A and B are shown apart, each in its own frame.
Chain A
């Protein structure tokens, strides 16, 4: 549950800072008039609805993954827990997802400079590497299943499939969004502001999934055991 604790402290800090900036300390009954309290520094552009929507969604997805991690550590305390061997292909996958993330970031930079050709190439590279990552994940599953590490034989195996599965589902959802963006970019004559925004949103989502994957990978190969031990010491 310490994972959840950390996550909540983060969310709460963001929320409180934002609320104070938005003026929850003011007295509305004393204030009249059209213009009230916009604390935004002059000139800065307000975030679009899509951006805020994505931020809120990432908070929800972050909560989901933190809960899965918390469950992983709590269940991992049981004596029957036996982590399966980690298929080597996961290292390749990690590299592929990182490449995908980088490609989308390149697309963002290109979009800001309105370089349509490079945006198209970068989006394509990003989509292909992400798809390869998914294929690699299936490969890893097959490898484990062939070695007879079934979900029903040990909870650690089950967690392996559950974590990678939920992560893959999020990536598939992201690929749908990416496909729509790519489609729009291909149909467009030049890179508009709206297109740049949607490329940016894809990139942010990809970085998030990359970040989640790194933490998840660390948990699966056992690098996070120390973290579990620290939590136990804190709580006992």
Chain B
């Protein structure tokens, strides 16, 4: 049943997709440790990311304890506080969120969803993980060096980041920069794989416009990351040279403790440009995969095709393009030409258009749908609410005149935690509950999952929602101690205590998730191949969990898009992407 609109002069793809020569592991070590199988690498990536993520969670408790009970906990002094802030931010943004979305979900889902046997460069893929692991170890090792990790803040702004007043100026900052450089090298290896696999290894019939939105999201994010990470790379390399060789790329002439430093004429603003050239796309590197995953979760669990698939794809591309040219909005208070401020404000606000389009499409997908309130669906809905909330405060902050007074307050903390902290983390949880049956062959416990969802979702709101209010009051962020401050009422301190208590509780409640994760490995109900009755390709593998090479003898052939749900007249209410068309069948 060929499409009549295909021009006659177009050569059809070959009937047999050329099989990739697969690497075959011979020992336990090459199968599970130095593995070249994308699925194993995915688990390794995700496991490492979640492990450092737990460290970041503990660090956030340190921050919260100090804010609620200043000076009450003996080991938290100003240095420890700033080190915790720095490491919490850097780990969460780079080592956890980027790594788990692209390295974890990217590795697992891309080959399965596009019908490939593996990534196109499996050896490079393996290297990518090991370099990432080394980068993580270098970062964490800074705790064991004299002076501890750097306390420069996750933005590492010079000149303060390499001056002696900042904690960790001896080894911490060097290890941080080396670790980031390693991370970027490792990521580039992985990123090449994700992009080229999507471009080259799609199975027969899998056109770009038949890819699930998850793949679109991860693909666009990988492209953005490949173009944005060089910014951080250059910034780190030059800052490292300033610190070690005494060059003056970023360091202006300055006097420190009465002593004139050798630095001359460097430009701290240059660092900010390079850093945010990476830093802002980073937000979308995290958000785009989350957008993609949420689209799939909503469509599967609401048994309805995604509303406006084409618009969703275009929106992803538009966000990707616009996301590269808005970095200046992080630098409003650094001072800039008013025309630059105008340009960056306009591009920033323009991103709201494709983003809002996506939100409308998710809502319209849910409209009149057969919604199943499974755990993944709850997390997807939680994401929607949180993301809209964080996005709207983003519109405030995108305006220069609103940003300037709010920039140094907790309002910004509330904004970015909502939009790129809580929202993507909810998606990660939803995605784990959703794909866990494919990865392990067993279901996670639904009841525990729902308890976990409600505690996490309501808890996260209880933590971050009041921070907007504190921010509008003028409560500054980054401060170790408030001291006597007339404009902050006593009730703000009480609110801080409440937030901290909830943060501790929500943090501990994550153990429910880990208990569920490990218990279900052995005791979960057997899932079968396709427990959610999903149409996309990863659920149609001959084995569950998928074996090495994913597809048995023959690669699947794709006949339709991945959102054929509630199809009238179909034997079940969905049509898998690889089910041959039946005569007279109509798309929904």
A interface residues, Cβ below 8 angstroms from B: 1, 4, 8, 11-12, 15, 19, 22-43, 47-49, 52-53, 56-57, 59-60, 63-64, 67-68, 71, 74-75, 78-81, 151-152, 154-155, 158-159, 162, 166, 235
Contacts and interface: CB of A to CB of B under 8 A. Distances in A.
B110 interface: no
Nearest to B121: A53
A22 B233 CA distance: 32
A39 B11 contact: no
Contact of A35 (B188, B205, B227, B249): B205
21 contacts: A8-B325, A29-B305, A29-B588, A33-B581, A34-B204, A34-B559, A35-B2, A35-B12, A35-B13, A35-B205, A38-B207, A41-B9, A49-B121, A49-B196, A57-B192, A63-B226, A63-B227, A63-B230, A75-B267, A152-B262, A155-B265
Interface stretch (B48-56, B234-242, B419-427): B234-242
Interface string B187-211: 0100110011001110011011110
Given A42-B10, A78-B267, 7 more contacts: A28-B210, A35-B3, A37-B3, A56-B226, A60-B226, A151-B245, A154-B248
B207 to A, nearest CB: 5
Given A32-B585, A34-B557, A38-B10, A60 B230 contact: yes
Interface string B110-127: 000000000011000000
Contacts, number: 180
A29 B247 contact: no
A60 B223 CA distance: 9
A56 B1 contact: no
B265 A81 contact: yes
B587 interface: yes
Contacts of B270: 71, 74-75
A166 B240 CA distance: 14
Contact of A24 (B195, B209, B237): B209
A32 B560 contact: yes
B231 interface: yes
Interface residues of B, number: 69
Contacts of B9: 41-42
Given A24-B313, A36-B6, A56-B195, A64 B230 contact: yes
B314 interface: yes
A67 B249 contact: no
A63 B9 CA distance: 38
A35 B234 contact: no
A22 B205 contact: no
B241 A33 contact: no
Contacts of A53: 120-121, 192, 196
Interface in B328-345: 337
Contacts of A64: 230, 233-234
Nearest to B226: A60
B324 A8 contact: yes
B561 interface: yes
B561 A28 contact: yes
B287 to A, nearest CB: 19
B208 A38 contact: no
B245 A33 contact: no
A151 B325 CA distance: 32
Contact of A36 (B3, B273, B337): B3
A27 B560 CA distance: 11
Nearest to A53: B196
Contacts of A23: 207-209
A67 to B, nearest CB: 5
Q: Name, among B121, B207, B267, the residue most crowded by chain A CB atoms within 10 Å (CB to CB).
A: B207
A22 B10 CA distance: 13
Interface string B290-324: 00000000000000010001100110010001001
Contacts of B231: 67
B353 interface: no
Contacts of A56: 192, 195-196, 226
Interface in B259-274: 262, 264-267, 270, 273-274
Contact of B249 (A27, A38, A75, A166): A75
B146 interface: no
Contacts of B208: 19, 22-24
Given A34-B2, A64-B234, A52 B196 contact: yes
Contacts of A80: 248, 264-265
B234 A71 contact: yes
